[in-house]
Every structure is written in C-alpha cells, then in structure tokens.
C-alpha cells in the first residue's frame, strides 16, 4: 500500500510493526488459579526488517514530519543503522509497562519495557511546554479492561494512554497520521479523538474489521473506511 501514498503527504508516521520475536516466544502462561496470561507472540511476528520500509517512509513523510515506531531490543540496532543516516535526528523512548506478564520463576527480568524509535528532520516542531514532557519515558499499564478489543483479541494492542501523548507532542489538529501496521486501529482511534486525520493499513482482514468498527464507533460521520 505504501507506494500508493503520495510523496511528502504524511505529517506523522506512528506505527507498531512486527518485532521479530517469534523465535523467542515461550507461549502463553497457564495458571491453575487464574485465567491464562497472554505471553505469546503472533504468527506474523517474524518477518520484518526496518530496511523494508525506510525508503517509502522517507518518501511519504513531509519535510516537517516525524516518525515514531514501536520496536524491541533485537531490532533497535537495525532501526538505527537504516534510519539515522536518512534523518537529521534519531532518538528513542521507553514505554514502561506497570503490569507486565509475570514470570513464575525468578530467573530473569520481566519484559516490562518497550522501545519506541523516533526520527525527524530540521523544520519539525514539537509541542513541549515544560521539561517534564521532554523525558523519553512513558509509563502506563498494558491495554486492558474495556479498551482491550475482544473480537478478535490482538496480542499487542497498544494503549491509548501511550499513543495520545506521542500524537499531541508531534502533530497538529488536521494533520495526517499514518499507521501502516495498524492492528486493531489503536493509533487511528487516538488520532481521530485528537482531531487528526488517519490512514491505516493492516494485512489481517479480522484486524481490519475490528479497526473499522472501533474507528466508526468512536467517530461517527468523520471516517471514510474503504
């Protein structure tokens, strides 16, 4: 889909591509005293490399645009290698999950942090109003409760509490936000809520249907899903 998007037309790419963690997955955690803990990664989480998208991302972003991409420790170096030479500035943020999946044996760290790479060029402006907002650290629980989409459950649905501040800091109302790996459409829900326009792409039809439902329900009359 990316080649169909006009050059220099996107204000913010906020996306969450596969992490390539399939090979490391130890599966869901079954417990006798509570329901199974979601600790598995999906079948699609094994065939992504940042080099697959770098040229298209650079082409479609406006000169004033910004990129945020969720990623994992195993791909951070690849993101830096490919994206740092193409942008004026490359940084990263940490999302600390306050309720990560538990480890029954105390044999290692919890996976309580995720990384978000960030890249932009001269001309991009930020909406920082105090130093506190400039920390590259966000704290929030993983997606749960009524926000967690059930039909189907997406194993890596991102919480709106993490997405909203990124959109607010890096774009303006009316701007176009793109998520080319949108899952069940969380970036779109946050973007439309904040008065931005949204383009989403997703390969799995069940997730597309869920995203369409969420976007239409939250923004009646303001979306055109095709």
Ligand X SMILES: C[S@@+](CC[C@H](N)C(=O)[O-])C[C@H]1O[C@@H](n2cnc3c(N)ncnc32)[C@H](O)[C@@H]1O
Q: Does 156 bind ligand X (CB under 6 A)?
A: yes
Q: Does 193 bind ligand X (CB under 6 A)?
A: no
* Minimal CB distance residue for ligand X: 183
CB of 71 to ligand X, least distance (A): 10
CB of 70 to ligand X, least distance (A): 7
**CB-CB neighbours of 170 under 10 Å:** 22
CA 214 to each of CA 147, 149, 177: distance values in angstroms, whole numbers, following the listed order: 10, 9, 17
Q: Which position among 79, 83, 95, 181 is part of the footprint of ligand X (CB under 6 A)? A: 181
CB of 119 to ligand X, least distance (A): 18
CB of 133 to ligand X, least distance (A): 23
- In what side-by-side order are the strands of the sheet with 113-120? 137-140, 89-97, 113-120, 61-71, 10-15, 176-179, 197-200
In our burial notation (b when 16+ CB lie closer than 10 A, e otherwise), range 1-26 reads eeeebeeeebbbbbbbbbbbbeeeee
**What is the three-class DSSP state of 126?**
coil
Q: Which position among 10, 11, 13, 18 is part of the footprint of ligand X (CB under 6 A)? A: 18
Q: Does 5 bind ligand X (CB under 6 A)?
A: no
CB of 203 to ligand X, least distance (A): 4
3-state helix, strand, coil in the chain (%, to 5): 30, 20, 50
The count of chain residues that interact with ligand X, using the rule CB under 6 A, is 18
Q: Does 66 bind ligand X (CB under 6 A)?
A: no
* E-assigned strand segments in 105-179: 113-120, 137-140, 176-179
Q: Which position among 82, 97, 158, 212 is part of the footprint of ligand X (CB under 6 A)? A: 158
- What residue ranges bind ligand X (CB under 6 A)? 16-18, 44, 154, 156-158, 181-184, 186, 201-204, 207
């Amino acid at each position: 889909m990316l080649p169909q998007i006009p050059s220099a037309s996107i204000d913010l790419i906020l996306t969450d591509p596969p992490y390539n963690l399939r090979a490391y997955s130890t599966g869901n955690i079954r417990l006798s005293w509570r329901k199974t803990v979601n600790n598995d990664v999906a079948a699609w989480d094994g065939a992504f490399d940042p080099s697959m998208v770098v040229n298209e991302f650079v082409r479609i972003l406006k000169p004033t645009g910004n990129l945020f991409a969720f990623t994992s420790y195993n791909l951070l170096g690849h993101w830096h290698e490919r994206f740092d030479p193409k942008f004026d500035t490359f940084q990263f943020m940490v999302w600390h999950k306050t309720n990560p999946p538990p480890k029954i044996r105390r044999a290692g760290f919890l996976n309580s942090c995720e990384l978000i790479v960030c890249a932009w060029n001269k001309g991009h402006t930020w909406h920082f109003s105090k130093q506190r907002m400039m920390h590259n650290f966000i704290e929030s629980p993983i997606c749960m409760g009524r926000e967690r989409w059930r039909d189907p459950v997406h194993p890596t649905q991102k919480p709106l509490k993490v997405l909203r501040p990124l959109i607010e800091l890096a774009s303006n109302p009316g701007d176009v936000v793109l998520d080319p790996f949108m899952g069940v459409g969380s970036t779109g829900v946050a973007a439309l809520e904040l008065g931005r326009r949204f383009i989403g792409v997703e390969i799995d039809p069940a997730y597309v249907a869920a995203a369409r439902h969420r976007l239409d329900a939250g923004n009646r009359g303001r979306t055109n899903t095709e």
